[in-house]
Copies of this chain bind each other. A is one copy, B any other.
Amino acid sequence: MAEPSFDVVGIGNAIVDVLAHAADAFLASEGLTKGAMTLIDAGAAKDLYEKIGPAVECSGGSAANTIAALASLGGKGAFVGKVHDDQLGEVFRHDIRALGVAFDTPPDDLGPPTATCLILVTPDAQRTMQTFLGACVTLGPKDIDEGLIAASRVTYLEGYLWDPPLAKQAIVKAAKAAHAAGRMVSLSLSDPFCVDRHRAEFLDLVNHHVDILFANEREIMSLYRVGSFDESLQAVRGHCKIAALTRSEKGSVVVAGDEIHVIDAERVPRVVDTTGAGDAYAAGFLFGITAGRDVAVSARIGSIAAAEVIAHLGARPETSLKALIEKRFG
Protein backbone atom coordinates (compact mmCIF):
# COMPACT_ATOMS: atom_id res chain seq x y z
CA MET A 1 0.00 0.00 0.00
CA ALA A 2 1.37 3.41 -1.01
CA GLU A 3 2.27 5.92 1.70
CA PRO A 4 -0.79 8.15 2.23
CA SER A 5 -0.56 11.68 0.77
CA PHE A 6 -2.76 13.14 3.49
CA ASP A 7 -3.11 12.62 7.22
CA VAL A 8 -6.78 13.54 7.24
CA VAL A 9 -9.39 14.34 4.60
CA GLY A 10 -12.36 16.17 6.09
CA ILE A 11 -15.79 16.12 4.52
CA GLY A 12 -18.21 18.74 5.77
CA ASN A 13 -20.37 21.76 5.23
CA ALA A 14 -18.33 24.64 3.74
CA ILE A 15 -19.50 27.65 5.71
CA VAL A 16 -18.50 31.27 6.29
CA ASP A 17 -19.14 32.31 9.89
CA VAL A 18 -20.66 35.69 10.71
CA LEU A 19 -19.71 36.35 14.34
CA ALA A 20 -21.34 38.97 16.55
CA HIS A 21 -21.62 39.59 20.26
CA ALA A 22 -25.14 39.34 21.68
CA ALA A 23 -26.85 39.52 25.05
CA ASP A 24 -28.70 36.56 26.54
CA ALA A 25 -31.86 38.67 26.43
CA PHE A 26 -31.54 38.94 22.64
CA LEU A 27 -31.32 35.14 22.30
CA ALA A 28 -34.40 34.82 24.48
CA SER A 29 -36.39 37.45 22.58
CA GLU A 30 -35.56 35.74 19.27
CA GLY A 31 -36.38 32.29 20.66
CA LEU A 32 -32.89 30.96 19.88
CA THR A 33 -31.65 27.76 21.54
CA LYS A 34 -28.52 28.80 23.40
CA GLY A 35 -25.42 26.72 22.70
CA ALA A 36 -27.02 24.79 19.86
CA MET A 37 -26.72 24.76 16.07
CA THR A 38 -30.10 25.40 14.50
CA LEU A 39 -30.79 25.21 10.75
CA ILE A 40 -32.56 28.22 9.25
CA ASP A 41 -33.66 29.10 5.73
CA ALA A 42 -32.51 32.06 3.64
CA GLY A 43 -35.37 34.29 4.78
CA ALA A 44 -34.81 33.64 8.46
CA ALA A 45 -31.07 34.18 8.00
CA LYS A 46 -31.72 37.56 6.38
CA ASP A 47 -34.16 38.56 9.12
CA LEU A 48 -31.81 37.60 11.94
CA TYR A 49 -28.81 39.29 10.26
CA GLU A 50 -30.82 42.54 10.16
CA LYS A 51 -31.27 42.38 13.91
CA ILE A 52 -27.76 41.51 15.09
CA GLY A 53 -24.95 43.98 15.77
CA PRO A 54 -21.80 44.58 13.70
CA ALA A 55 -20.13 41.32 12.79
CA VAL A 56 -16.88 39.88 11.51
CA GLU A 57 -16.68 37.23 8.83
CA CYS A 58 -14.32 34.24 9.07
CA SER A 59 -14.24 30.91 7.33
CA GLY A 60 -15.86 28.19 9.40
CA GLY A 61 -17.61 24.83 9.08
CA SER A 62 -16.93 22.12 11.62
CA ALA A 63 -14.81 19.64 9.63
CA ALA A 64 -13.20 22.52 7.72
CA ASN A 65 -12.14 24.07 11.04
CA THR A 66 -10.65 20.72 12.05
CA ILE A 67 -8.66 20.45 8.83
CA ALA A 68 -7.52 24.08 9.19
CA ALA A 69 -6.28 23.39 12.72
CA LEU A 70 -4.62 20.16 11.57
CA ALA A 71 -2.73 22.18 8.94
CA SER A 72 -1.74 24.71 11.61
CA LEU A 73 -0.31 21.79 13.61
CA GLY A 74 1.78 20.79 10.61
CA GLY A 75 -0.44 17.93 9.45
CA LYS A 76 -1.32 17.31 5.82
CA GLY A 77 -5.01 17.88 5.21
CA ALA A 78 -7.56 17.83 2.44
CA PHE A 79 -11.13 19.07 2.50
CA VAL A 80 -14.27 18.26 0.54
CA GLY A 81 -17.22 20.66 0.75
CA LYS A 82 -19.44 22.76 -1.47
CA VAL A 83 -19.42 26.54 -1.88
CA HIS A 84 -21.11 28.72 -4.47
CA ASP A 85 -19.07 30.73 -6.96
CA ASP A 86 -19.59 33.98 -5.02
CA GLN A 87 -17.59 36.33 -2.78
CA LEU A 88 -18.07 34.29 0.39
CA GLY A 89 -17.23 31.10 -1.51
CA GLU A 90 -13.98 32.77 -2.54
CA VAL A 91 -13.30 33.72 1.09
CA PHE A 92 -13.80 30.10 2.16
CA ARG A 93 -11.64 28.73 -0.64
CA HIS A 94 -8.86 31.24 0.00
CA ASP A 95 -8.66 30.69 3.73
CA ILE A 96 -8.42 26.91 3.64
CA ARG A 97 -6.00 26.78 0.69
CA ALA A 98 -3.83 29.47 2.31
CA LEU A 99 -3.09 26.91 5.03
CA GLY A 100 -1.81 24.43 2.48
CA VAL A 101 -4.97 22.30 2.57
CA ALA A 102 -5.97 20.58 -0.69
CA PHE A 103 -9.47 21.83 -1.53
CA ASP A 104 -10.66 21.04 -5.03
CA THR A 105 -14.43 20.55 -4.77
CA PRO A 106 -15.76 22.63 -7.69
CA PRO A 107 -18.00 25.53 -6.63
CA ASP A 108 -21.59 25.65 -7.84
CA ASP A 109 -22.43 28.37 -10.35
CA LEU A 110 -26.15 27.72 -10.08
CA GLY A 111 -28.31 27.39 -6.99
CA PRO A 112 -28.08 28.87 -3.52
CA PRO A 113 -25.20 31.07 -2.28
CA THR A 114 -22.36 29.93 -0.06
CA ALA A 115 -23.55 28.78 3.37
CA THR A 116 -23.35 31.17 6.31
CA CYS A 117 -23.58 30.57 10.02
CA LEU A 118 -24.72 33.46 12.20
CA ILE A 119 -22.84 32.91 15.46
CA LEU A 120 -23.95 34.90 18.47
CA VAL A 121 -21.39 34.99 21.26
CA THR A 122 -22.86 35.77 24.69
CA PRO A 123 -20.89 37.36 27.55
CA ASP A 124 -20.25 33.88 29.03
CA ALA A 125 -18.29 33.03 25.80
CA GLN A 126 -20.93 30.47 24.77
CA ARG A 127 -21.81 30.42 21.06
CA THR A 128 -25.27 29.97 19.56
CA MET A 129 -25.33 29.10 15.87
CA GLN A 130 -27.97 29.60 13.19
CA THR A 131 -26.93 27.98 9.93
CA PHE A 132 -28.23 28.63 6.43
CA LEU A 133 -26.88 25.63 4.50
CA GLY A 134 -26.93 27.35 1.09
CA ALA A 135 -24.74 25.59 -1.46
CA CYS A 136 -23.95 22.76 1.00
CA VAL A 137 -27.22 21.07 0.03
CA THR A 138 -25.75 20.16 -3.37
CA LEU A 139 -22.79 18.15 -2.03
CA GLY A 140 -23.23 14.62 -3.33
CA PRO A 141 -21.43 11.39 -4.26
CA LYS A 142 -20.01 12.94 -7.44
CA ASP A 143 -17.91 15.20 -5.19
CA ILE A 144 -16.18 12.25 -3.52
CA ASP A 145 -12.89 11.30 -5.17
CA GLU A 146 -12.17 7.75 -4.03
CA GLY A 147 -8.51 8.23 -4.87
CA LEU A 148 -8.30 11.12 -2.40
CA ILE A 149 -10.01 9.05 0.29
CA ALA A 150 -7.66 6.12 -0.30
CA ALA A 151 -4.70 8.49 -0.10
CA SER A 152 -5.67 9.76 3.37
CA ARG A 153 -4.94 8.00 6.66
CA VAL A 154 -8.24 9.18 8.15
CA THR A 155 -11.53 10.24 6.55
CA TYR A 156 -13.20 12.63 8.99
CA LEU A 157 -16.94 13.26 8.81
CA GLU A 158 -18.94 15.88 10.71
CA GLY A 159 -22.36 14.88 12.02
CA TYR A 160 -23.81 18.06 10.54
CA LEU A 161 -23.34 16.41 7.11
CA TRP A 162 -26.42 14.30 7.80
CA ASP A 163 -28.57 17.45 7.50
CA PRO A 164 -28.16 18.26 3.78
CA PRO A 165 -30.13 15.67 1.78
CA LEU A 166 -27.59 14.42 -0.79
CA ALA A 167 -24.59 14.32 1.51
CA LYS A 168 -25.49 10.95 3.05
CA GLN A 169 -24.78 9.21 -0.24
CA ALA A 170 -21.45 11.01 -0.33
CA ILE A 171 -20.64 9.82 3.20
CA VAL A 172 -21.47 6.21 2.43
CA LYS A 173 -19.29 6.34 -0.66
CA ALA A 174 -16.42 7.92 1.27
CA ALA A 175 -16.63 5.52 4.22
CA LYS A 176 -16.67 2.49 1.91
CA ALA A 177 -13.70 3.82 -0.06
CA ALA A 178 -11.77 4.47 3.14
CA HIS A 179 -12.29 1.01 4.55
CA ALA A 180 -11.68 -0.63 1.18
CA ALA A 181 -8.28 1.09 1.17
CA GLY A 182 -7.56 0.02 4.74
CA ARG A 183 -7.91 3.55 6.10
CA MET A 184 -9.70 4.84 9.21
CA VAL A 185 -13.07 6.57 9.40
CA SER A 186 -13.73 9.19 12.04
CA LEU A 187 -16.99 10.89 12.97
CA SER A 188 -17.83 13.90 15.12
CA LEU A 189 -21.36 13.96 16.50
CA SER A 190 -21.40 17.78 16.12
CA ASP A 191 -24.40 18.82 18.22
CA PRO A 192 -26.92 17.17 20.59
CA PHE A 193 -29.88 18.30 18.47
CA CYS A 194 -28.13 16.94 15.38
CA VAL A 195 -27.85 13.62 17.25
CA ASP A 196 -31.60 13.79 17.95
CA ARG A 197 -32.27 14.23 14.25
CA HIS A 198 -30.11 11.29 13.14
CA ARG A 199 -29.76 8.99 16.18
CA ALA A 200 -30.47 5.67 14.47
CA GLU A 201 -28.02 6.32 11.68
CA PHE A 202 -25.33 7.55 14.07
CA LEU A 203 -25.74 4.46 16.27
CA ASP A 204 -25.40 2.21 13.25
CA LEU A 205 -22.29 4.10 12.13
CA VAL A 206 -20.68 4.01 15.56
CA ASN A 207 -21.40 0.30 15.91
CA HIS A 208 -20.22 -0.73 12.46
CA HIS A 209 -18.23 1.87 10.56
CA VAL A 210 -16.47 4.40 12.80
CA ASP A 211 -12.91 3.89 14.02
CA ILE A 212 -12.52 7.17 15.91
CA LEU A 213 -15.55 8.88 17.41
CA PHE A 214 -15.59 12.45 18.74
CA ALA A 215 -18.45 13.68 20.89
CA ASN A 216 -18.94 16.09 23.71
CA GLU A 217 -20.71 15.14 26.90
CA ARG A 218 -24.15 16.28 25.79
CA GLU A 219 -23.83 14.61 22.39
CA ILE A 220 -22.76 11.20 23.68
CA MET A 221 -25.49 11.29 26.35
CA SER A 222 -28.00 12.18 23.62
CA LEU A 223 -26.75 9.33 21.41
CA TYR A 224 -27.40 6.74 24.11
CA ARG A 225 -30.31 8.60 25.73
CA VAL A 226 -28.76 8.35 29.18
CA GLY A 227 -28.76 10.76 32.08
CA SER A 228 -25.11 10.81 33.10
CA PHE A 229 -21.74 11.04 31.43
CA ASP A 230 -20.57 7.80 33.02
CA GLU A 231 -23.50 5.86 31.59
CA SER A 232 -22.65 7.14 28.11
CA LEU A 233 -19.00 6.21 28.69
CA GLN A 234 -19.97 2.64 29.60
CA ALA A 235 -22.34 2.50 26.61
CA VAL A 236 -19.74 3.53 24.04
CA ARG A 237 -17.00 1.18 25.32
CA GLY A 238 -16.38 -1.58 22.84
CA HIS A 239 -18.50 -0.02 20.11
CA CYS A 240 -15.74 1.75 18.22
CA LYS A 241 -11.96 1.51 18.34
CA ILE A 242 -11.46 4.91 19.89
CA ALA A 243 -13.96 7.35 21.43
CA ALA A 244 -12.65 10.78 22.45
CA LEU A 245 -15.25 12.46 24.64
CA THR A 246 -14.85 16.15 25.46
CA ARG A 247 -16.21 17.82 28.59
CA SER A 248 -15.29 21.54 28.28
CA GLU A 249 -13.38 22.70 31.37
CA LYS A 250 -13.44 19.15 32.78
CA GLY A 251 -11.14 18.01 29.99
CA SER A 252 -11.66 14.83 27.99
CA VAL A 253 -11.99 11.11 28.43
CA VAL A 254 -10.58 8.74 25.83
CA VAL A 255 -11.72 5.14 25.50
CA ALA A 256 -9.60 2.85 23.33
CA GLY A 257 -10.28 -0.85 23.78
CA ASP A 258 -9.46 -1.61 27.39
CA GLU A 259 -7.65 1.68 27.93
CA ILE A 260 -9.36 4.69 29.46
CA HIS A 261 -7.55 8.01 29.86
CA VAL A 262 -8.87 11.05 31.70
CA ILE A 263 -7.09 14.15 30.37
CA ASP A 264 -7.27 17.60 31.97
CA ALA A 265 -8.25 20.66 29.99
CA GLU A 266 -5.55 23.24 29.29
CA ARG A 267 -5.83 26.38 31.35
CA VAL A 268 -6.96 29.45 29.42
CA PRO A 269 -6.48 32.92 30.97
CA ARG A 270 -9.79 34.15 29.55
CA VAL A 271 -12.31 32.20 27.50
CA VAL A 272 -13.58 34.60 24.80
CA ASP A 273 -15.55 32.43 22.38
CA THR A 274 -16.02 28.66 22.53
CA THR A 275 -16.80 28.40 18.80
CA GLY A 276 -14.65 25.66 17.28
CA ALA A 277 -13.37 24.16 20.54
CA GLY A 278 -14.47 20.64 19.61
CA ASP A 279 -13.22 21.05 16.05
CA ALA A 280 -9.76 22.04 17.29
CA TYR A 281 -9.68 19.19 19.82
CA ALA A 282 -10.44 16.70 17.03
CA ALA A 283 -7.65 18.24 14.94
CA GLY A 284 -5.10 17.84 17.71
CA PHE A 285 -6.22 14.30 18.48
CA LEU A 286 -6.11 13.20 14.84
CA PHE A 287 -2.77 14.94 14.34
CA GLY A 288 -1.38 12.94 17.24
CA ILE A 289 -2.84 9.62 16.13
CA THR A 290 -1.74 9.98 12.50
CA ALA A 291 1.75 10.94 13.68
CA GLY A 292 1.92 7.71 15.68
CA ARG A 293 1.46 9.25 19.13
CA ASP A 294 -0.47 7.31 21.76
CA VAL A 295 -4.06 8.25 22.57
CA ALA A 296 -3.18 10.07 25.81
CA VAL A 297 -0.65 12.37 24.14
CA SER A 298 -3.03 12.83 21.21
CA ALA A 299 -5.74 13.96 23.64
CA ARG A 300 -3.33 16.44 25.23
CA ILE A 301 -2.53 17.89 21.80
CA GLY A 302 -6.28 18.18 21.27
CA SER A 303 -6.64 20.10 24.53
CA ILE A 304 -3.83 22.50 23.62
CA ALA A 305 -5.38 23.19 20.21
CA ALA A 306 -8.81 23.79 21.77
CA ALA A 307 -7.32 26.16 24.34
CA GLU A 308 -5.84 28.35 21.58
CA VAL A 309 -9.13 28.60 19.74
CA ILE A 310 -11.35 29.52 22.69
CA ALA A 311 -9.04 32.37 23.76
CA HIS A 312 -10.18 34.56 20.83
CA LEU A 313 -13.19 35.27 18.62
CA GLY A 314 -13.52 32.83 15.72
CA ALA A 315 -13.18 29.09 15.28
CA ARG A 316 -9.78 28.79 13.61
CA PRO A 317 -6.33 29.16 15.21
CA GLU A 318 -4.81 32.65 15.14
CA THR A 319 -1.32 31.45 16.02
CA SER A 320 0.77 28.52 14.82
CA LEU A 321 -0.40 25.41 16.68
CA LYS A 322 2.79 23.69 15.47
CA ALA A 323 4.86 26.17 17.49
CA LEU A 324 2.66 25.67 20.57
CA ILE A 325 3.01 21.90 20.41
CA GLU A 326 6.75 21.98 19.78
CA LYS A 327 7.14 24.14 22.88
CA ARG A 328 5.29 21.50 24.90
CA PHE A 329 6.42 18.21 23.40
CA GLY A 330 9.62 19.15 21.57
Chain A positions within 8 Å of B, measured between CB atoms, are 49-50, 52-59, 68, 86-88, 91, 94-96, 98-99, 113-114, 314, 316
Contact at A59–B54, with CB atoms within 8 Å? yes
How far, in angstroms, from A141 to B49 measured CA to CA in the complex?
A: 31
* Copy count, this protein chain: 2
How far, in angstroms, from A54 to B96 measured CA to CA in the complex?
A: 7
How far, in angstroms, from A296 to B314 measured CA to CA in the complex?
A: 38
Contact at B56–A314, with CB atoms within 8 Å? yes
Contact at B113–A55, with CB atoms within 8 Å? no
Query: Contacts of A59 on B, CB cut-off 8 Å?
Result: 54
- In the complex, the chain B residue whose C-beta lies closest to that of A55 is B95
Pick the contact of A57 from B58, B98, B113 — CB < 8 Å?
Answer: B58
How far, in angstroms, from A99 to B53 measured CA to CA in the complex?
A: 7
- Least Cβ–Cβ distance between A74 and chain B, in angstroms: 15
Query: Contacts of A53 on B, CB cut-off 8 Å?
Result: 98-99
- Least Cβ–Cβ distance between A187 and chain B, in angstroms: 26
Pick the contact of A52 from B68, B98, B316 — CB < 8 Å?
Answer: B98
How far, in angstroms, from A88 to B89 measured CA to CA in the complex?
A: 12
How far, in angstroms, from A53 to B95 measured CA to CA in the complex?
A: 7
Query: Contacts of A96 on B, CB cut-off 8 Å?
Result: 54
